[in-house]
Homo-oligomer: A and B are copies of this chain.
Amino acid sequence: MAPAIAPADETLYMRIFHRIALMIEQGTLRPGDRVPSVRKLSRQEGVSVSTVLQAYTQLEARGLIEARPQSGFYVRPRLWAPPAEPGMSKPSGKATPVSAGELTLNILKAVRNPGLVALGTAIPSPELLPTQQLNRMMASIGRRDQSAGNSYDVPPGALQLRVQVARRALDYGCLLAPDDIVTATGCQKALNLGLRAVACPGDTIAEESPTYHGILQMIGALGMKALEIPTHPRDGVSLDALEYAMDRERIAACLFTPTFNNPLGCAMPDENRKELVKMLAGRGIPLIEDDIYGDIAFGPQRPRAAKSYDTEGLVLLCDSFSKTLAPGYRVGWCAPGRFQKKVEHLKFTNTIANATLPALAIAEFLATGGYEHHLRRVRRVYAEQVGLMTAAVAASFPDGTKVTRPQGGHVLWIEMPGKVDSLELFHQALAAKVSIAPGPLFSAKQKYRNCVRLNCGTPWTEAVEGAIKTLGMLAKKQMG
């Protein structure tokens, strides 16, 4: 069997190390359990005995297992408990212009340095992307049908892609026809078109708090105001708080990520989604549903989209394949409900069309490339990496640090003790060649100063492990 993460030679033993560490962290192997024998594991994983021994020595050095003479290795009594979860967020109750545009862009540019351990951007792991297969498909389409690949793909965009999206939408409860879909240059563009279709400059947009900085910056760049709604790190946005807010002021639209909010990784329970759609329909308020992480569910079942409860055409479902297949292809889409024509017109005035070949390649991959099989691997690996990151944070960060329990996606939200300043930490970490996303990026009012978001999208390596230690050390130092 192929390993979950294709390791570089020098990190073969790291893979063994982390596989066992994860089994211990998740409770599959409990204190007192015997871990697999060195010989057995070496056979099973197709690595040398000395590689396994190296991994076990490391596990022993970290106090996770112990050698018992003549008997083998055993799990030691647990040395760490998983850290507590953060509570419901408490944003300010006022709609506010979005600030920090330049800060956000500067941070994004700063973390582009290839010499960094990149924990600051929510990019998927290149090792998990079927880039070679996609590039080959795109090349083959280009050879086969030249005119198709090099003409204006005007709205609503490539039919082949819209057919595949409609087919897949059944999986999360949506009955969409190809003509209910408009293609877009990535999910951000889909959200942007959706937002412009339902709201005007000056309008107030309700959003989760914390939420993805790209969403906040988009609201700001469109001259709209953001109203941050309290959000629970497991159940998502508080419907009570939302209702309270809607009673108090005119909200033009909600822009939520019900399935694996970035940075929280939470998924709204189905009944909450249903209730949310009903509440908004009663008031005629559109919901722009960001589903970019929807396909990366850790559990056996991918949550239904809120859109699946939409009977009024008021939910604009937005998605892309940037986190699962190809961030560089920029292939996304919007199912805008009753705003279909408006979104098509906005897309035309904004870009005329998307790049054609990338959309056709993604469509072909969805039709023939084994997307479901691919997703199973992606989900398993990101769940593992999130688990490893959680364990590493628990081991290195200051006492009192809280960590989310993401149900999907590949980011972790860390709430450090109040004394720690994440903007300061960002600069200190950068000097140590580590990038992080400081908490204030995720709030219109730059709250969450003691929080950071860490990307678990990249393969777990010694460098990443070292980076977490460095961050923990820097945070502890700040506490004096």
Task: Report whether A350 and B101 are in contact in the complex, using a CB–CB cutoff of 8 Å.
Answer: no
Count class of interface residues, chain A: 35 or more
Task: Find the B residue at minimum CB distance from A144.
Answer: B135
Bound CA–CA A121/B152 (angstroms): 10
Chain B binder among A214-222, A277-285, A419-427: A214-222
Residues of B within 8 A of A352 (CB): 186, 188-189, 214, 330
Known interface pairs A147-B126, A153-B328; A221-B346 also in contact (CB < 8 Å): yes
Task: Assess whether A326 is interfacial by the CB under 8 Å rule.
Answer: yes
Q: Given the complex of chains A and B, what is the CA–CA distance between A196 and B129 in angstroms?
A: 34
A355 to B153 CA separation, bound complex (whole angstroms): 14
| A150 contacts chain B at the CB level, 8 A cutoff | yes
Residues of B within 8 A of A222 (CB): 349
Tell whether A113 is near chain B: CB-to-CB under 8 Å: no
The answer to whether A349 and B214 touch across the interface, beta carbons within 8 angstroms, is yes
Contacts of A109 in B (CB 8 A): 154
Whether B192 pairs with A349 at a CB distance below 8 angstroms is yes
A154-B108, A201-B200 known; A186 vs B348 contact (CB < 8 Å) = no
| A448 at the B interface (CB under 8 A) | no
Compute how far the CA of A151 lies from the CA of B152 in the bound complex, rounded to whole angstroms: 24
Q: Which residue of B lies closest to A326 (CB)?
A: B150
Within 8 A of B (CB), among A100-132: 101-102, 104-105, 108-109, 112, 121, 123, 126, 129, 131-132
Q: A345 touching B152 by the CB < 8 A rule?
A: no
Q: Which residues of A pack against B, CB within 8 Å?
A: 101-102, 104-105, 108-109, 112, 121, 123, 126, 129, 131-132, 134-136, 138-139, 142-143, 146-147, 149-155, 185-186, 188-189, 192, 196, 200-201, 214, 217-218, 220-223, 322, 326-330, 341, 344-346, 348-358
